Structure 1
């Protein structure tokens, strides 16, 4: 159970990581977009997701 959660969290994290850098690349290619606050919000959201995905396997391991 723990390993299943760990692998699913890992794949979700990789997906989020890829989409985050993809959005960063789009913003880098199109600097004329009025989107710095949007990029900042995405960055904060990404870091919150990172914290959640790190804590999820730890919590599940403690419960198990």
Structure 2
């Protein structure tokens, strides 16, 4: 939950989501929007999720 701190502190809508795996470790992205732009943030996140190469995969670092 550390990733959403700046958006919460400033009162801005934000979302943190996975975007890939580097060396077996998941990497995320945080999207922060302008005030009252929650729908735009969610639409962008939905678009990124639909093209996400993870496809619901669990990183191998967490399987052992």
| TM-score normalised by L of structure 1 | 0.33
Higher relative contact order (CA 8 A, sep 6+): 1
Larger Rg: 1
| TM-score normalised by L of structure 2 | 0.33
